[in-house]
A = this chain, B = another copy of it.
Amino acid sequence: MNAADAPRPRMTRQRREILDALDLSEFRSAQAWHERLRSEGSTIGLATVYRALQSLAESGEVDAVVAESGETLYRRCEAGEEHHHHLRCRVCGKAVEIDVPDFEAFAAAIGREHGYGDILHTIELTGVCPECAARAGA
């Protein structure tokens, strides 16, 4: 509707720290990111981490997924823009981005077929990555 929606947030020390930390390519909860930052010496507050991650998720700079437990997991989004989905390790959080050919069109078609509009979709694959499988199989 309105493209002038983004009142660019201020570049604070905290925001910079979060952006840096997010280089790691693993899905982690807000609390987990906070712990990591503190363990690296940061004094950033938990609430700030929550706020930043939410704002970044809204603006599409990070991916957010809701785990089965209900907690929200975040990680830096590789493809700056395009819509995509993930295959994530349930154990260590490592994830790869996948594409699901034709699914966008399929979703829209299903919606139309049932008279539903404004369709959103969620596709998440989870599994156990090779490393974690090996460690567990020991």
Cα distance, A89 to B117, chains bound together (Å):
9
**B70, B71, B106, B115: which contacts A72 (Cβ < 8 A)?**
B70
| Minimum C-beta distance from A127 to chain B (A) | 4
Q: Using an 8 Å CB-CB cutoff, how does the interface string of A101-138 with B read, 1 for contact, 0 for none?
A: 00000110011001111111111111111100100000
Q: What 0/1 pattern do residues 66 to 97 of A give for CB contact below 8 A with B?
A: 10101110000000000000010110000010
> Considering the chains assembled together, what is the distance between the CA atoms of A90 and B114 in angstroms?
14
> Does A98 sit within 8 A of B, measured CB to CB?
yes
Q: Which of A22-73 contact B (CB under 8 A)?
A: 66, 68, 70-72
B contact residues around A107 at 8 Å (CB): 125
Q: How many chain copies does the complex carry?
A: 2
Q: Contacts A66-B66, A66-B68, A66-B70 given: A118-B114 contact, CB under 8 Å?
A: no
Measured between C-beta atoms, what is the minimum distance from A5 to chain B in Å? 20
**Interface class of chain A by DSSP:** strand
Interface size class on chain A is 20 to 34
Q: Which of B66, B117, B122, B128 contacts A133, CB < 8 Å? A: B117
Complex Cα–Cα for A15 and B120 (A): 34
Residues of B within 8 A of A114 (CB): 87, 96, 129
Name the B residues within 8 Å of A98 (CB-CB): 110
Chain B residues closer than 8 Å to A121, beta-carbon distance: 123-126
